[in-house]
Structure 1
Amino acid sequence: MQPESLSKAIQLSVAPVFLLAGIGALMNVLYGRLVRIVDTAKQLRATREVTGSMDERTRRIYRQRMQLTMRAIALLTATTLLISAVVAAMFLSVVFQLNLTAVVVPLFISAMVLLMLASLCFLREVQLAAKLLQNLI
């Protein structure tokens, strides 16, 4: 293998690696939101046990928020796996001088679709949180 090939492989893999870093940051945000949802739900449950009442609508919204956040995290995890496969395929393509375009393109498109779906789940969760807050104010 030529040193130029290794350098080219590394150059090609830089952009997807930055994308992985951004996805990692988004996963961190989602994890923080999930922790807050769970903590608040526990507080509501404790309050319900003391007062004997809890709005069923509020419980449903917290359940939906948790499900959406978990779904977004699962989709982002799948996205990271696909992007990692893209980086590996690009690296192998350069190192072994193979044309893996037919592999890389569908993997990358699939990763972007999963990223969009995760973003939509995140948006919906934020909308539910805002709706819940508006009801409290």
Structure 2
Amino acid sequence: MNLQISDIGHVIQLAIAPVFLLTGVCTKLSVLINRLARIIDRMRVLEERLDTAHNDNYLDELDTLYRRSHLINSAITLSTACGFLICLVIAMLFLSDTTNLPLDRYIAASFVFGMVALIGSFVHFLREILIASRFMRDHRHARPRAGAPGVPR
């Protein structure tokens, strides 16, 4: 097999776009992991408070945090699957060019499944954000404001 430098250059050019996509997925994973860490920290605080005093508000917030953590875990799983599939695309691009194997359909399928996983990850992420926003909005309206009649400043 006679592999030309120009052939390798062509494969590298084809692999650049998936590499940039992989960078974006990794950045998104970092954001998701940070959000999950914040949720876990808040759950620990609430569980410690529940050990000393029973409060229905704490239980409601724990339920919301549990739903959010489940959605974030799903988004992390889907983002990781997307990253794996994009890595597979990159590897198959090099394999197909260096071995002349007809991997076109596998490359296309892996890319499409990777995009489906990424879309699913964004959907779960958006649902988590909407739950967090709704909880904050509801919690803010349920609490009396400082300076209102009968509320100490």
Query: What's the CA shift for 1:82?
Result: 0.5
Partner of 2:73: 70
Deviation track 1:16-35 (CA, whole Å, cap 9, x = no partner) reads: 00000000000000011000
Query: What's the CA shift for 1:12?
Result: 0.6
Contact 1:72 1:119 in 2 (8 A): yes
Unpaired segments ≥5 residues, structure 1:
none
Quote the Cα distance in structure 1 between the aligned partners of 2:85 and 2:5: 27
Superposition misfits of 4+ residues, deviation over 4 angstroms: none
Partner of 2:28: 26
Quote the Cα distance in structure 1 between the aligned partners of 2:114 and 2:96: 19
Quote the Cα distance in structure 2 between the aligned partners of 1:94 and 1:8: 9
Q: Does 1:112 align with 2:112?
A: no
Query: What's the CA shift for 1:91?
Result: 1.1
Q: Which has the higher helix share?
A: 1
Give percent identity, aligned residues only: 32
TM normalised by structure 2 equals 0.85
Higher CA-based Rg: 2
Number of paired residues? 137
Partner of 1:38: 40
Question: SS at 1:99's partner residue?
Answer: coil
Higher RCO structure (Cα 8 Å, ≥6 apart) = 1
CA RMSD in angstroms comes to 1.1
Contact 1:44 1:54 in 2 (8 A): no
Higher mean Cα deviation, 44-53 or 62-71? 44-53
Contact 1:9 1:95 in 2 (8 A): no
Unpaired segments ≥5 residues, structure 2:
141-153
Higher mean Cα deviation, 116-125 or 91-100? 91-100
Partner of 1:100: 103
Quote the Cα distance in structure 2 between the aligned partners of 1:113 and 1:3: 34
Quote the Cα distance in structure 2 between the aligned partners of 1:36 and 1:81: 26
Query: What's the CA shift for 1:97?
Result: 2.9
Query: What's the CA shift for 1:57?
Result: 2.8
Partner of 2:151: none
Quote the Cα distance in structure 2 between the aligned partners of 1:2 and 1:54: 70
Query: What's the CA shift for 1:60?
Result: 1.6
